[in-house]
Structure 1
């Protein structure tokens, strides 16, 4: 089953560090079979009180691959760069079997 890494980027404290991260991260994501599915944009809360700042959604082939990417030596330096230049929440979740998903 596909898995997703969801980042809710709350605050940028160092735009230069975040720009360097952005210029280098895509190649590492793709080397683990990942693909960006959503980056930023307007967020409208329809129910509840949750509010995303600047969401980024990355799809991976499965949960194990998503974790391998996040914990990989290739991403370690980039993760430190992102964390030094911004504040975010991050989760990885797996899709569950459902009749609602396309085959």
Structure 2
């Protein structure tokens, strides 16, 4: 089973105006064809550790390849500059874990790496 992929955005110092509003209005239509759906958008985080002065956005895709195809698509790249010019933002694409994943899998891999002398 393929693990889901995610696009995670972190935005600070958003200059709210016509262009950032245009970005918000247009972004959804750019990820629908890639199977994207909102997980987090437009909510204030309840910060329980460390500083987090900005806002988070999370979009889920069927796979990391779908997330990458969306980000690189002409439709998204056509509007990305609206976000870049009107906020301090970072975007990361990452692979989620497959259904049934257990943290022990990662611990086992780390133990194996240590046992083999790998860093």
TM-score by length of 2: 0.74
**CA distance in 1 between partners of 2:97 and 2:53 (Å):** 23
**1:10–1:89 CA contact under 8 A, matched in 2:** no
More strand by share: 1
Q: Which residue of 2 aligns with 1:93?
A: 94
* Runs (5+) with no aligned partner, structure 2: 104-119
TM-score by length of 1: 0.85
Q: Which residue of 1 aligns with 2:25?
A: 23
Q: Which residue of 1 aligns with 2:67?
A: 66
3-state DSSP class of the match of 1:58? strand
More helix by share: 2
Runs of 4+ in 1 over 6 A off after TM superposition: none
**How many pairs does the alignment contain?**
99
Q: Which residue of 1 aligns with 2:79?
A: 78
Q: Highest Rg: 1 or 2?
A: 2
1:44 Cα deviation after fit: 2.4
Q: Which moved more, 1:65-74 or 1:36-45?
A: 36-45
3-state DSSP class of the match of 2:13? strand
